[in-house]
């Protein structure tokens, strides 16, 4: 018997090219979706303090950003709108001249090959910051049997139907309902098909958790709830079986792509969804994940490029086919170099 090991896995790690040859998980620009926050105005680029390198953009600046994404071979962008005016029902969301429809039309005209995803929710457009119509005594749909402040599910579906058709008419390739409203996929699919948008894709935020990692996004989208939180409709973080049930429901309702959000703290959910469903899976590396890496790197505590890439490889390894990430442009440049 030899006194030395016969099996030496380290042989395959000796050089960079050897490691490339046996790498099990790939990451390329094909897997990236960038995010963009759009607002009214001209020449507007308002930096988001809690998300270094990102800004709220007017439509003309969003077009410039879209061209840069296309040059970096990033295939898709997801849009979030910041309206000038908000109301109780999020009227701007289904206004054909609203900020997101304007941005969709401009981007598709300038960069037609870029896939444009419309985040479909009400939180950015409502005065109360919640993801739908709230049960209040002065609301025309007030239900005295439900508590005040409760989000009215079916009444909210009516808004999502209207807004999804408006955004599809503007040219959105994908509608991405994100409010965790029961029946949202079926309602949107029916509305799109009825209006002839049978090829418009639905990417459902199928398992979206009520997470503490969303803080910087609420600065970016100016959408913090004015009372309470969203745990009444977003998922409870400890629950895995419920997440699989939510995904199954959205698949049955006609979702083309299902999403898990957040990503890195929920890799087990991504893995379970991958093992149980054959649809493409998206994962959202959310603002808190992004900003923590940025903050630690700014202090010199970590290597930003190395940690960002490592986190995306983990999300891919868990089973995600595509990743919404605020690192998209940086990742594309790093991969190229």
| Spatial separation of the C-alpha atoms in residues 316 and 306, rounded to whole Å | 15
> Is the CB of residue 37 less than 8 Å from the CB of residue 56?
yes
User: Which residues in 114-132 are b (16+ Cβ under 10 Å) and which e?
Assistant: bbbbbbbbbbbbbebbbbb
CA distances from 305 to 51, 298, 314 (A): 16, 12, 14
Strands 151-152, 174-177: pairing kind: unpaired
Q: Which one of 208, 294, 329, 336 is the catalytic residue? A: 208
- Give burial (CB, 10 Å; 0-12/13-18/19+) of 101: buried
| CB atoms near residue 195 (< 10 Å) | 15
Say whether 108 is catalytic: no
* CA dihedral angle for residue 144, residue 160, residue 240, residue 24, rounded to 10 degrees: -170
Rounded CA separation 137/161 (Å):
24
- Select from 281, 106, 103, 306 the least CA-distant residue to 205: 281
Distance between CA atoms of 153 and 157, rounded to whole angstroms?
7
- Among 86, 108, 261, 329, the active-site one is 261
DSSP assigned state of 255? -
The span from the CA of 34 to the CA of 326, in Å, is 6
Active site residue 294: no
Question: Of 111, 117, 107, which is closest to residue 200 (Cα–Cα)?
Answer: 117
Q: Which two tokens stand for residue 263?
A: 């990503």
* Alpha carbon distance 140, 149 (integer Å): 14
SS3 category, 29 = helix
Residues labelled catalytic: 208, 261
């Amino acid at each position: 018997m030899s006194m030395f090991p016969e099996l030496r896995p380290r042989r395959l790690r000796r050089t960079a090219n050897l490691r490339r040859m046996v790498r099990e998980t790939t990451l390329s620009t094909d897997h990236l979706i960038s995010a963009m926050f759009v607002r009214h105005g001209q020449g507007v680029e308002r930096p988001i303090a809690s998300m270094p390198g990102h800004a709220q953009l007017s439509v003309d600046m969003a077009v410039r950003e879209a061209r840069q994404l296309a040059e970096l071979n990033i295939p898709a962008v997801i849009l979030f709108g910041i309206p000038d005016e908000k109301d109780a029902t999020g009227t701007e969301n289904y206004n054909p001249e609203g900020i997101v429809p304007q941005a969709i039309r401009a981007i598709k005209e300038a960069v037609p090959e870029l896939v444009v995803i419309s985040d479909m929710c009400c939180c950015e457009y409502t005065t109360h910051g919640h993801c739908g119509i709230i049960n209040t005594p002065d609301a025309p749909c007030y239900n005295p049997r439900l508590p005040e402040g409760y989000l009215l599910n079916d009444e909210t579906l009516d808004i999502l139907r209207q807004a999804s058709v408006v955004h599809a008419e503007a040219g959105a390739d994908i509608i991405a309902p994100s409010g965790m409203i029961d029946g949202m996929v079926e309602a949107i699919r029916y509305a799109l098909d009825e209006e002839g948008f049978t090829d418009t894709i639905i990417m459902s935020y199928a398992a979206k958790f009520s997470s503490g990692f969303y803080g910087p996004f609420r600065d970016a989208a100016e959408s913090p709830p004015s009372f309470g939180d969203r745990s009444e409709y977003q998922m409870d973080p400890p629950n895995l079986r419920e997440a699989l049930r939510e995904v199954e429901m959205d698949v049955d309702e006609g979702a083309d792509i299902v999403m898990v959000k957040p990503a890195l703290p929920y890799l087990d959910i991504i893995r379970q969804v991958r093992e149980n469903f054959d649809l493409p899976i998206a994962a959202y590396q959310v603002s808190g994940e992004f900003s923590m890496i940025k903050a630690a790197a700014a202090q010199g505590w970590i290597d930003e490029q190395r940690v960002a890439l490592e986190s995306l490889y983990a999300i891919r390894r868990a089973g995600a086919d595509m990743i919404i990430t605020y690192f998209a442009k940086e990742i594309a440049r790093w991969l190229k170099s």
